[in-house]
Amino acid sequence: GENVEQHPSTLSVQEGDSAVIKCTYSDSASNYFPWYKQELGKRPQLIIDIRSNVGEKKDQRIAVTLNKTAKHFSLHITETQPEDSAVYFCAASVTGNQFYFGTGTSLTVIP
Amino acid sequence: EPEVTQTPSHQVTQMGQEVILRCVPISNHLYFYWYRQILGQKVEFLVSFYNNEISEKSEIFDDQFSVERPDGSNFTLKIRSTKLEDSAMYFCASRGPVPANTGELFFGEGSRLTVL
């Protein structure tokens, strides 16, 4: 089955700096890659997603890039704010049915 | 905004007891899921359900687990004889009527299961 690796497991940045989280996947058939944000004690919520026919997608301060050849995708958060502090999970889906999640990155934005 | 709701929010049970976790997915969604998250670890897929039957399940979802959609609104996860290692946060999720390979998962707030 699909294996999704995520790095780093923890990340601390100063407010205003950028944060980058990277994921790799193993199944070249995966074609949908969402990112979820989970605040402490709350449910995971989708923040951005990308499909395999697109190399990059941006939504305000958040962007995701996908390199299908290398089988990796990354989340970029610019101008970080304290409210960006959370655990971020990447995921990959082949069938759109079973989503394989990464191990999570705990992001701390230091004011 | 419609939400996935789960009950109970926290359940403590003795090893060997049966547990039922309940979920009410978003009303026009067609795909339903259970995931679990052991403390500090990744979100792990358990099972997906579509058209009143299991569509996929993981290795974790063994014979101790079962799912049902008994009345068209609730979606339940039953653990027949709980083990210590079943202690985790269990998330229900649903997905709308979109084609395969697309679509946002909407998660419930989770049910924390503690097995003693």
CB contact under 8 A, B44 and A101: yes
Residue of A nearest to B99 (CA): A96
DSSP chain B: ----EEE-SEEEE-TT--EEEEEE--TT--EEEEEEE-TTS-EEEEEEEETTEEEEE-TT--TTEEEE--SSS-EEEEESS--GGG-EEEEEEEE-S--TT--PPEE---EEEEE-
pLDDT at A65: 97
Question: pLDDT digits over B59-116, tens only?
Answer: 999 999 999 998 878 999 999 999 999 999 999 999 887 665 457 889 999 999 999 9
Shortest CA gap A111–chain B (Å): 24
Residue of B nearest to A34 (CA): B104
Q: In the predicted model, what is the mean pLDDT of chain B?
A: 91
Nearest to B109 among A34, A42, A94 (CB): A42
Question: pLDDT digits over A70-104, tens only?
Answer: 999 999 999 999 999 999 999 998 766 678 899 99
Nearest to B56 among A32, A42, A97 (CB): A97
pLDDT at B40: 80
pLDDT at B101: 46
Comparing B71 with A61, the larger pLDDT belongs to A61
Nearest to A44 among B43, B100, B101 (CB): B43
